[in-house]
Amino acid sequence: MDENSCRRLRSQFIVSASTALALFVVSTVYGLSQINSISANVTEIARVYVPLNKISAEITSYQLKQSLLIERALRLFECADIDVGTRSQIEIALKDYGDLSGRVEGELVKGERLVKNAIQNAFSEKMRESFRRIGQLLEKVDQKYRNMDHNAGEIIKFLQQRRLREAHELLAEAEKQEHRLADELKELFIMVEQLTEQAALNAERSEEQSYLRLFILTAFAFIAVPVLIVRAMRNPSKKLNE
DSSP H helices, 121-163, are 125-160
Which DSSP state fits 1? Answer: -
Residue 241 — very low, low, confident or very high, per pLDDT cuts 50/70/90?
very low
Mean pLDDT calculated for residue range 104-110 = 93
* Predicted local confidence at residue 226, as pLDDT: 65
Average the pLDDT over 126-131 and give the result.
84
Per-residue pLDDT, averaged over 137-142, amounts to 91
**Residues 77 and 164 sit within 8 Å (Cβ to Cβ):** yes
Mean pLDDT along residues 107-117: 91
Average pLDDT over all residues of the chain: 78
Percent of the chain predicted with pLDDT > 70: 64
pLDDT at 178: 87
227 with 30: CB under 8 angstroms?
no
What does pTM read for this prediction?
0.68
How does 85-100 read in b/e, with b if 16+ C-beta sit within 10 Å? Answer: eeeebbeebbebbeeb
pLDDT band at 240 (very low <50, low <70, confident <90, very high): very low
Q: Using the predicted structure, report yes or no on whether residue 238 has a pLDDT greater than 50.
A: no
24-65: per-residue pLDDT in tens? 666 666 665 665 665 565 666 777 888 888 898 899 899 899
Distance between CA 113 and CA 95 in Å, rounded? 27
CA dihedral 75, 77, 81, 84 (to 10 degrees): 100
Range 225-236 average pLDDT: 60
| Pair 188, 151: CB distance under 8 Å | no
If you compute the radius of gyration of the chain from its CA atoms, what whole number of angstroms results? 34
pLDDT at 109: 93
The mean per-residue pLDDT over the stretch 114-137 comes to 85
